[in-house]
Structure 1
Amino acid sequence: MKSLFRSMALVGAVTLAAMPAAVVAQEIAVIVKTTSSNFWQNVNRGAQAGMEGLDGYTMSFDGPASESDIAAQVNMVDNAINRGVAGIVLAPSDPEALVPSVQRAYESGIPVVIIDSMLAEGAEEYYQAFLSTDNQAAGELMAQTMIDAIGTEGQIAIMSYVPGVGSEIGRVGGFTDYIEANSDIEIVNTLYSQSQMATALNQTTDMLSAYPELDGIFGANEPTAVGMGRAIVQAGRQGSLTALGFDGNEDLQQFVRDGVLEAIAVQGSFQMGEMGVQTVVDLLAGEEVEEFINTGVVVVTADNIDSDEAQNVLY
């Protein structure tokens, strides 16, 4: 696969060399799920850091206003291909819908590095590396955190985000499977916020009302966990149930400090951007890269939130 890509990249380079100078700009397009999230803005900061000292390259950063606007993200990838970018770093919002565009990039000799969420099975031949938290392992880690907090019995709820997204499948699937395999805890419901904070707030409010004896609740990404935390505060349930979140913006950090959330699992979002850009540059230089690069996760609690390990991933 790698040798075929390099051959295609050479063809692409010859084609680009024949184009006007304005088109030959060595642009690396970083396209994320949405630009309206601190998580993805931290990916942007990491990508900018990865560009430092790279002479001859420029970087663009783009993403839809909402993670659910999949058509807009497809258009962004297609537009990047049309303008002849040197490489693409992509966090796909949908595992199926982005495959044709990534295939087209591959056929155009443009290296693609996927971050955060995998594409559908069978699409691996069209991209050269996948950088992510091991979401299944992270979900299992949070499940064990829940068991440690409430024991092996009780009722919990899951506040998820966009069904079918690669990170959601691994993260929530890992959490669910681990709870079911290692405890008698009942998962009373799983709701999907579409990564909208206000939706998560309303859904959590309804969940807390429907299950007043709920022992625990898990918010599986940044906007969902923020909405969940705000609902817990508004309902006066702080301290009466174990709440776990995912990601690490300022709101979630404050929830941990205030005891609203017992813990948050924080991904290396900065590392996704920085290492994503660097991996594209390595591919353009003809170097071999690892097909999977784990960018890690840190469980942050009130006890370790000020440690160097936590501060290096919080944003």
Structure 2
Amino acid sequence: MQFTRRSVQTAAALAVLGGLLASPALAQDKPKIALVMKSLANEFFRTMEDGAKAHQKAHASEYTLVANGIKNETDTAAQIKMVEQAVAQKASAIVIAPADSKALVPAVKAAIDKGVIVINIDNQLDADALKEKNITVPFVGPDNRVGAKLVGDHLAKSLKAGDKVGIIEGVSTTFNAQQRTLGYQDAMKAANITVVGVQSGNWEIEKGNTVA
């Protein structure tokens, strides 16, 4: 398969879990890992799922994998239910790409309270919400603000000072969307280019085209 940032990111999270679950304190007979993603209608998460399945296939004797994703990027309630189901099905660990940086924290807290290891990927859980629940969750993923600034810097080379641009961001309540917007704004400010507006496309091509 072709390896991309998203598939490598997921494999890295699974590798981290493999090390944790192999420790004497946590070792058990073939632990179950639940991968809880956002919309599988999004190619990004289909590729993430492929990467996870490839890693599990290469380590089939070490753990089993259950991969699930929601129907659309904003179906937070369905994703919360997936976390609850993973706990009920005795998952040893959950790898989650949360649809909402704050709304998933109570479900994550409940899982941790049940002894489930949780690893956060893709969209980082809200730091204040985690602090309020008195929990820490390891994050495996990129610096979205830095990455977005690099993209903005590249675009700025094709523009000139005084030009105007708009931003179509992802789901506004997600940390990665917020960070990408900030990074892009950083680049535009540095190039003296005006951002005239920010609209949410909810990570969906059709909605993005509509708000454009």
Which band: TM-score by shorter chain?
A: 0.7 to 0.9
- The residue type paired with residue 138 of structure 1 is G
CA-CA distance at 1:35 after TM superposition: 1.1
SS of the residue corresponding to residue 149 of structure 1 reads: coil
Larger Rg: 1
CA distance in 2, matches of 1:89, 1:30: 5
Judging changes above 3 Å, is the alpha-carbon distance between structure 1 residues 127 and 60 closer, same or farther for their aligned structure 2 residues?
farther
CA-CA distance at 1:163 after TM superposition: 0.2
The equivalences for 1:108-123 within 5 A come to: 108-122=114-128, 123=130
Q: Aligned pairs, how many?
A: 187
Identity of aligned residues (%): 25
CA shift digits 1:97-127 (9 cap, x unpaired)? 1101111121111111110111111427645
Query: In structure 1, which of residues 162, 171, 193 is the aligned counterpart of residue 201 of structure 2?
Result: 193
For 1:183, the equivalent position in structure 2 comes to 191
What TM-score, normalized to structure 2?
A: 0.80
8 A Cα contact 1:102 1:126, kept in partner: no
For 2:34, the equivalent position in structure 1 comes to 29
8 A Cα contact 2:156 2:187, kept in partner: no
Matched, 1:91 2:97: yes
Query: In structure 2, which of residues 162, 173, 181 is the aligned counterpart of residue 164 of structure 1?
Result: 173
CA distance in 2, matches of 1:141, 1:149: 14
8 A Cα contact 2:32 2:91, kept in partner: yes
CA distance in 1, matches of 2:209, 2:87: 38
CA-CA distance at 1:172 after TM superposition: 1.0
The equivalences for 1:93-172 within 5 A come to: 93-122=99-128, 123=130, 126-172=135-181
8 A Cα contact 1:70 1:94, kept in partner: yes
CA distance in 2, matches of 1:53, 1:95: 30
Q: Which runs of 5+ in 2 are unaligned?
A: 1-19
RMSD: 2.3
CA distance in 1, matches of 2:33, 2:94: 6
8 A Cα contact 2:152 2:184, kept in partner: yes
CA-CA distance at 1:196 after TM superposition: 2.4
What TM-score, normalized to structure 1?
A: 0.55
CA-CA distance at 1:94 after TM superposition: 0.6
